[in-house]
Amino acid sequence: MPLKILISAGEASGDLYASLLVKRLPDEEFFGCTGPRMRALGVRTVIDAASLAVVGLVEVLEHLPRIYREYRKLAAAAVQERPDLAILTDSPDFHLRLARRLKAQGVPIVYLVAPQVWAWRRGRLPDMRRLIDHLLCIFPFEEEFFRRHGVAATYIGHPLAGLAKPLLTRQEFFKKHRLPPERPLVTVLPGSRRGEAARHLAALLEAVDRLYQDQAASFLLPASATAGAGFFRERIGRAPIQVIEGETWDAIAHADLALAASGTVTVEAALLGTPMVTFYRVTGLSWLLGKMLVRTPFYCMVNLVAGRKVVPELMQSQMTGERLAAEARKLLRDPEERRRMKAGLAEVAAKLSSDGDPMDRAAAVIDNIRRDVGNHVGSSR
């Protein structure tokens, strides 16, 4: 008899990872918080993941009423549907709260993509020990950290390690988008969510303008499904940036340089071996609060995995058009600097890879839990 599984992802990357798990558990019935990838696989939607895609300590405040409504809707569905198992992906503010409700119902919980309590908010650890039956880690240093703090955890490898690949050759991609092959390509990645992208666009447009004045280059912006191409086309004005729908991995893989918002896309660029300049900006109050709470030597995951500075990080006030252009210019003009960065990115890619398929490992962990649940469900039905 198939199990009923609540599955939930709060953003685009989580939707991707969760969808890969759904594919490996074809006999079960899924419902929950979904993005387009899970919906395409037939996961029944209670709430849309796009409604939760907000970043920043202060930025989230104005969205709290909507997020709380969505939380209540999903929690109510869990009470009504009585799932046999829950798989919660990333988005810890939302999912750890939901986990309390699910645990009170006796629902076993598998958590995919560990909350970054090794960097900040270690006060979450007691809840994680109590609520999470198994934590699936995608960064190599996380398993030891969580096990040391009493959380059952397994490092599965990064799901993108064997997945992030271009579909087209560079020649095919350049021909498709009418890009001059003799010009270097700079791919602009302002963030997958509209709020973060809007905060980054002014500095990015200034950087592109500065580079365009003294560098014969092409500029491409692959819009995420969350933000949409129209959102960017309305805002870039006359900037020499071609906006395309999706094709992010091709746009990164065939680029000579990426200007990348700190997040999953920097991991994708590392796996694809593309030199990059990373950046991020939040509101001033969020930055001040974050500075007090975050205890980590770097902000970009590429540098954290490497254990040293491999790519530039332009955070908050450092993220200006002038600084972005200067770092980009250095990488475009200095072959030795590019070679050093590519070597560092190759090290990071190797650390993120694991033996076998990460999602097969995740499915194996879930199978063990599922077997116990199935025995219990079978005996109770």
pLDDT in tens, 130-155: 999 999 999 988 999 999 999 999 99
Does residue 204 sit in the same domain as residue 336?
Answer: yes
The least confident of 213-217, 244-248, 302-306, 308-312 is 213-217
Parent domain of 290: 170-352
Identify whether residues 103 and 235 lie together within a single domain: no
Q: What whole-number distance in Å separates Cα of residue 240 and Cα of residue 152? A: 50
Q: Which amino acid is at 211?
A: L
Shared domain for 110 and 186, answered yes or no, is: no
Residues 139 and 203 in one domain: no
Q: Are residues 358 and 346 in the same domain?
A: no
Nearest to 215 by CA among 252, 180, 262: 180
Give tens-digit pLDDT for 49-76. Answer: 887 765 544 455 555 778 888 999 999 9
The verdict on 10 and 67 lying in the same domain is yes
Exposure class string for 235-264: b at 16+ Cβ within 10 A, else e: ebeebebbbbeebbbbbbbbbbbbbbbbbb
The residue whose two tokens read 């600084």 is: 323
The number of distinct structural domains making up the chain is 2
143 and 236 fall within a common domain: no
CATH number of the domain at 138, please: 3.40.50.2000
Q: Give the mean pLDDT of 365-373.
A: 81
Both 348 and 360 in a single domain? no
Which is more confident, 281 or 372? 281
Residue 150 lies in a domain: yes
Domain-embedded: residue 237: yes
